Amino acid sequence: MVIYIEACESGSMFENILLNNINIYATTASNAEESSYACYFDEKRQTYLGDLYSVVWMEDSDVEKINQESLYQQYLIAKRKTNTSHVMQYGDLILGKTHNVSEFQSTENFQHNFIQNYDNNIFQYDVVPSESVLLSIIARRLANIEENSIDKENLERQLAQLIHERAIITNNMQKIASIAVSMNRGDYLETVIEKRLKLTEHDCYISVTQYIQEKCFDLQNEFVLNKLYIMFNLCEIGLDDLIINQAIDQVCYERSSFD
């Protein structure tokens, strides 16, 4: 099995988890600690059409002779051309070196002519961190709209509301951390808020994130996801999930309806 994962902190799905002897090879858009990036902003549709890592490996599959290119060779190309995050590989690395891309994507080799200057154009992509996509879209629309228009006023309100919501998310996550560590881990607050520890306490983390979903924020919100490292840091410094969930109760009186 071969897996390509496009997501922020996507390396966390496999790091110290995916075994190297079960015939699974995975590559990810980023390591366990960083964002992935959107690209190809379309002015007509006012949105980003792709994500850089995915665009890179799919364009590579379009132009290379994939019946002669190993998965590992494609990984190296994706790693080099995805210059905004660290593309990673996990699992059975021997599988990656001994099997060609065509075995998992297509047995046919198509040479498409619509991709020009493939080796050069990747660095010209307009990229933005995935959690900042909505902010970027609104800012772009504001930059191109007429002054004193109703649409501009609406967009300015949307932008202000989005910034306000993100401030609430950040503030509440940090409050939860402050309350949780105050019980017996007060010296760890700075570490919990500023560092990204390696996740090993999975049961604790699952319990806490489920409670965040129930009591605080929708985990479909990418900015919420971006702040969840604070929760797994709390687990990693030795706090029990019951203590963390009690802190959540003290901060989140009702679930926010942020998109």
- Give DSSP secondary structure letters for 220-239: TSHHHHHHTHHHHHHHHTT-
Global confidence as pTM: 0.85
CB count, 10 Å around CB of 99?
Answer: 16
CATH of the domain at 27: 3.40.50.1460
Confidence band, pLDDT 50/70/90 cuts, at residue 27: very high
- CA atoms of 54 and 32, how far apart (whole Å): 17
Is 38 domain-assigned? yes
- The yes-or-no verdict on residue 252 having pLDDT over 90 is yes
Q: Do 100 and 197 reside in the same domain of the chain?
A: no
**pLDDT at residue 123, rounded to an integer:** 46
Q: What is the mean pLDDT of residues 62-84?
A: 95
- 3-state SS, one letter per residue, for 92-115: CHHHHHHCEHHHCCCCCCCCCCCC
Domain end, chosen from 79, 106, 129, is at 129
Model confidence over 163-182: pLDDT tens digits? Answer: 999 999 999 999 999 999 99
For helices 150-182 and 229-236, the axis angle rounded to 10 degrees is 0
Any idea what the CATH number is for the domain that residue 204 is in?
1.10.132.130
Q: Within this chain, do residues 78 and 9 fall inside the same structural domain, yes or no? A: yes
Q: At what angle do helices 52-63 and 71-81 cross, to 10 degrees?
A: 130
For residues 25 and 43, give the distance between their C-alpha atoms in angstroms, rounded to a whole number: 37
What is the residue-averaged pLDDT of the chain?
Answer: 91
Instruction: Give a yes or no: residue 82 inside a domain.
Output: yes
Whole-angstrom Cα distance, residue 193 to residue 202? 19
Q: How far is CA 170 from the centre of its chain?
A: 17
Are 188 and 244 found together in one domain? yes
Q: Are residues 120 and 6 in the same domain?
A: yes
pLDDT tens profile 86-134: 999 999 999 999 999 999 997 665 555 555 555 545 445 689 999 999 9
Domain total for the chain?
A: 2
pLDDT score of 108:
63
185 has pLDDT over 70: yes
Domain with 28, as residue range(s), is 2-129
Q: Whole-angstrom Cα distance, residue 73 to residue 236? A: 36
